[in-house]
Amino acid sequence: MAIPSVLDAVERLGAFTRVSNTLPGPHARLTIAGLAGSSDAVIVAAIARRHPGRFIVVATDGLPEAERWLADLGALADDPSRIALYPPREGFGEAEPHVEVAGERVETIERMTRGAVSVLLTTARALLERTRLPRAVASSRMELRRGDQIRLADLVSHLEGVGFQRVEMVEDVAQFSVRGGIVDIYSFGMTEPVRAELWGDEIAELRHFDLNSQRSTRAAEVALVLPVETSAADAEDSVERVSLATLFPPDTLLVLPQGTELAPELERTWEEAAHHIDLARRRGEDAPPRAELFEEPATVRATLGALGTVVVVDRATAPESSVVFPILGPDQIDRDVKRLRKLVGTGMPTLILCDNAGQCERLEELLSEGEWMPTAAALVVGVVHGGFVIPPIGGNPGLRVLTDHEIFRRERRLRRSRKYVTGAALDVAGSTMSCISSTGSASTAESRRRSFARARSKSRSSSTRAATGSTSLSIASTRSSAIARQATSATRRHRHGSTR
C-alpha cells in the first residue's frame, strides 16, 4: 500500500530538490545525511517516483537489511510491483535447494530482463556470485496462451528439461502432471497453478486450478513457465556464468544505506567460498573453481564504482559537500498514551502507521478516550521499520510519522508470506478424501519443500555434478538454519494449539 502523503512531504524539502536535480551519473558520487528511521526508504521511493526511467539498486551488507528495505518500500512506493529482491544463494554452489529462494531469484531475473523492475534490492554476496540464470531464463522462458499450437510431447520434454518434476498430481511448485491431453503446471512466476487442455496440438483451454480440490477456478490469460534450475543452460559448455551487475544499465543508480560496507563483505564471501570448495574436494567431489562461481572482489568493486552512487552517512561524519536533510528521529512515547495525545494535539500533521486494521481501531479508541471529537492523527495500515519527523520549514507544514510498534515498544517482525502455496490430497479409507491447506500444517509444507530439495539433488546426475558442484557446495548458511528453526517452532505451536 502506497502512502503518498509521506512522499509528498519529502519532495517538498529543499534538500530533496537538490538531490533530485543532481543525481549522480556514471562514475559520480553523492553523499546525503540527516536521515532517521525509514526516511532513507522514503527518499529512494521519492526518487523512483520523480525519475521513473532510472534503474535503482540498493545494496546492503546482508539479507535481513535487504528484506527490511523490501518491506519499507512495499509500504511506501507508488507501485510496489516494480520493487524486487534478488537474494544470495544459501549455499556456495550454483544450485539452490530452497524453493522460495530459487523461485525469487528466477522471478527477479525474468522481471529485470523485460524491464519490469525499477528498484532492485540485493546484497554484497549476491553481487559477487556468478550464475547461468540470465541465459537459462532467456532460452527456457515459455508463455502458454489459449489457441497456441504445441505438441504434447514437446511441452513435456521442455518441462522435464528445465527441471520440473513429473508427478501424478500437482501439489507443489516446480511440478507438472499429464492426464491424457490435460497438463497441470505450477511454475515459478505463477500466483496459482494452471491447467492446459490440449485438443490435438492446440491449447483449447487454459485455466487456473486449486491445489487442494484440484478443481479449475478461473480462466488464465497466459501461463508463464520459468526454469526450475539452470540444467538447460548447463548442457552447453559455452554458456558462461555472469554476475548480477552485468545486467545493470549504464545509468543505474546505486544506493548504499548508512553503515553499509560492501568491500569487507565481498572479501569475506570470497574467502568462505574457497574454504567450502576445499572441503568439497577433500571429500573427493568434483567442485568447480572458485572463479567460476564468484567474481573477484576487485572486479565487483570496479563494476560498482562505474555506477552513479548515492551514499547515506551519519550527520556527524558527513563531508561538507553532502546534502543534509533536516529529518529527525521519532518522538519517544514509551507506551504513554497521554503523551501521545499531547503530541498529536500540537498541530503538526501526524501519521501513525499500524500493522493491521484492528490495531488502528484500538489506537484510535485510546487516543479518543473521553473525547467526542476524533483524533487529529491519521491512522493508516502500513508497516515501516522506524518513524521520523520532518520539521516545518517555511511553508512546509512538516510531518510526524510514528509506528505503533515503536509507540508500544514492540519489536517489529518481518512476516514475509510464502510465495508458493502447497496442497496435498490424503489417501483415506473408503470414498472420503480430505485436503490439507497451505496454511494448515507448517510441518507438512516444510517437509514438501525438503522433498523438493531432495528431488532436485537426485535429478542432478554425476555428469552434471562436475559442472555445477551442487552436491558439495549446497551447504546451508545461517539463514537456512534459521528457517529450519522457525519451521520447527511453527510445528510445535501448531501441535500445541491443536492439543488445546
- Secondary structure letter of residue 388 according to DSSP: E
User: How high is the pLDDT of residue 366?
Assistant: 83
Strands (E), 180-312: 182-186, 194-199, 202-209, 216-219, 223-225, 242-243, 253-256, 308-312
Q: How many CB atoms lie within 10 A of CB 217?
A: 13
pLDDT means over runs of 10, the chain (500 residues): 80 95 96 96 96 96 95 91 94 80 93 95 96 89 95 95 93 94 94 94 95 92 88 53 93 96 94 90 86 94 96 94 94 86 85 87 80 70 90 87 88 68 51 37 45 47 39 42 45 42
CA 417 to chain CA centroid, nearest Å: 11
What is d(CA 331, CA 334) in angstroms, rounded to the nearest whole number? 9
User: How high is the pLDDT of residue 155?
Assistant: 96
Paired with 390 in beta bridges are 399
Question: Which residue from 455, 414, 421, 427 is spatially nearest to 441, judged by alpha carbons?
Answer: 421
What's the count of helices (H) and strands (E) in the chain, helices before strands?
A: 19, 23
Cell of 369: 478516550
What is d(CA 78, CA 295) in angstroms, rounded to the nearest whole number? 35
**What structural domains does the chain harbor?**
4-136+243-324 (3.40.50.11180), 142-225 (3.30.2060.10), 337-407 (3.40.50.11140)
Cell of 209: 486450478
User: How high is the pLDDT of residue 372?
Assistant: 52
User: How high is the pLDDT of residue 94?
Assistant: 72
Cell of 40: 532513507
Q: How many CB atoms lie within 10 A of CB 125?
A: 24
Compute, in degrees rounded to 10, the torsion defined by CA atoms 330, 336, 342, 348: 20
Angle between helices 4-11 and 14-21 (to 10 degrees): 80
Angle at 48 between CA 43 and CA 51, to 5 degrees: 120
Question: Which residue from 15, 84, 10 is spatially nearest to 42, judged by alpha carbons?
Answer: 10
Residue type, 288: P
pTM comes to: 0.81
